[in-house]
A and B are shown apart, each in its own frame.
Chain A
Amino acid sequence: MEAVRQRLVLLITLAALALILLSKYLLRLDLGHGVLKFVSDFTGGALTFFGMVISVVAVCQLTHSELERKTVATLLSKPVNFLQFTYGKTLGVAAMLFCFCFAVGLSGWIMVEYTEFSLSKVPPEFLSDKPFSSAGFWVFVLCQWLKLCLIAAMACAVCSVSSSLMFSVTTSFMLVAAGILASIDTGPLADKNIAQIVATVLLPNFNFFSESEKYAFSAPSCIQTSAAAAYAAGYFVIAGAAAAWCFSRRSL
């Protein structure tokens, strides 16, 4: 409830929705892709970019406001332990991110369907798009939500060792960027130096979610999706436990 009340979250969600609703009118920015693919990619871009901002900022703001206002002391004096505190915060943000992904996904889906309907009068030989799969599109949205939950858990772990909001937000974004770079380097661990191995192990591996970007125009893979879900859940649990451990060892 506290997460949804953040003005920045509402503002970013509105910006993402506006961008998606305008996507049909921004087709001139397209660089040779199909019309439907362009609109669908626009939704994916809005989900990833704005979702990333929301997950990092929301977790850092909620956690640091608890620490700075000392409400955490009242909370933890009740039968609430550090694990419940960190999981409560991140699950609250995860629920808010679910609403965000659903709203953005729904507007993107409506725009793709509307564009597809508009194109139904155009002879097929003039179209370069593969057929759009609604189910695949929603699996893609689900995978993006899992990715954002994972980022939220990582941001919570950063907050547990940081004493300022600015440090937490900046470090979390830097770690997301480092995670993206580490994910690009898909070579075997044996060929990497220690820094690369640490980055590969500790930072989120976004490769689990990159495959889902194709699902809107191809059959979604059940194995890939399950692997992404399992990885996100595992990372979420471990990062939350690490955050709880760090919180229990600092002065609140």
Chain B
Amino acid sequence: MEYVLQAKKISKYFKFGLRSVVVEALKDVSFSVPKGCIFGLLGANGAGKSTAIKILLGLLRQNSGTVEIFSGALNSAAKKRMGYLPETPNFYGFLTGLELVSFYAKLCGLKGKIAEQKAAEALEMVGLSDASGRRVSLYSKGMQQRAGLAQAIVHDPELLILDEPASGLDPVGMSDMAEIILKLKERGKTVLLSSHMLAEVEKLCDEVCILSRGEIAAQGSLDSLLDKPNSAVLNMSSVSEQNVEKVVKYAESLGAKIDGARTGRESLSEFFKSVSKR
């Protein structure tokens, strides 16, 4: 299997105060991101997700361990093949959306007209083409998040690192963001995303790595982690309450252990999306 990114035994500690109190943020963390997959880096607040991402991007130096990106060290050539969306994107407010994304495109080596053209395409992909002429300072939080994604994909990178991509988005925005990420996967891109919104992660990710207090708590494909052999979930529609009871009794007669059965109910998230779809 070809890996786009490999973190090997990364450790990072911070020293605080005059007494140099040591806080271990990451302890021997190792994971590999296969090419073309959506990889989730999960964990509660303070688990070490952002520290790991900063180390992957070269914004923070690890105390031990190595990071290999495209089978080599992180350098300018590797950075040209990567895109990064920060957790809370904050940009130069005096630029318009198009100017902002063009600026980042130029930093990635794209020239003049091509940079502008690519920026316009990226803004269209994230649904911001109508607001491309507006100043970024006038954007809502959700629009800033989309602009952040546009600057991350403007140079058509092979690897995308998205830190809390759904942060600050409403359910419709989150759903749109998920669609964009899936589209990127269809185009052959590799995506590493960190999140604690598990419902979205479950829909998107092929593999996950769960961090807890700086250590890996679980790692692997979602199927291998979540599948329960010898168990099944039935979703039935057009069925009355009496018939549900009959189905339960029949299943029990076959030796199945029924954990619970109730009449169908839509999730709030699904209901919200259906009534407020733009």
Q: Which residues of A contact B (CB under 8 A)?
A: 2, 5, 69-71, 73-81, 248-249, 251-252
Contacts and interface: CB of A to CB of B under 8 A. Distances in A.
Contact of B107 (A5, A75, A249): A75
B91 A71 contact: yes
B102 interface: no
A252 B107 contact: no
B269 interface: no
A252 B60 contact: yes
A74 B79 contact: no
B87 to A, nearest CB: 8
Contacts of B60: 251-252
Interface residues of B, number: 28
A203 B209 CA distance: 50
B57 A73 contact: yes
B84 A77 contact: yes
A248 B57 CA distance: 12
Contacts of A71: 90-92
Given A71-B91, A73-B57, A252-B60, A78 B86 contact: no
Contact of A70 (B14, B76, B82, B90): B90
Contacts of A81: 76
B59 A76 contact: yes
B80 to A, nearest CB: 5
B86 A80 contact: no
B61 interface: yes
B151 interface: yes
A109 B86 CA distance: 49
16 contacts: A2-B92, A5-B94, A70-B90, A73-B57, A73-B59, A74-B84, A74-B89, A74-B148, A76-B57, A76-B58, A77-B57, A77-B82, A79-B76, A81-B76, A251-B60, A252-B54
Interface string B69-91: 00000001101101110101111
A2 B83 CA distance: 24
B109 interface: yes
Nearest to B109: A79
- Ranked nearest first, the 8 interchain pairs of A and B with the lowest CB-CB distance are A77-B84, A79-B76, A78-B107, A69-B90, A79-B79, A252-B59, A77-B57, A79-B80
Contacts, number: 55
Interface in B185-224: none
A160 B84 CA distance: 23
Contacts of A76: 57-59
Nearest to B61: A249
Contacts of A251: 14, 54, 60
Contact of A74 (B54, B61, B82, B86): B86
A81 B77 CA distance: 12
Contacts of B58: 76
A74 B14 contact: no
A70 B53 CA distance: 14
Interface string B91-135: 110100000000010011100000000000000000000000000
Contacts of B91: 71, 74
Nearest to A69: B90
A15 B83 CA distance: 44
A75 B57 CA distance: 11
Contacts of A80: 79, 107
A108 B167 CA distance: 54
A249 B58 CA distance: 10
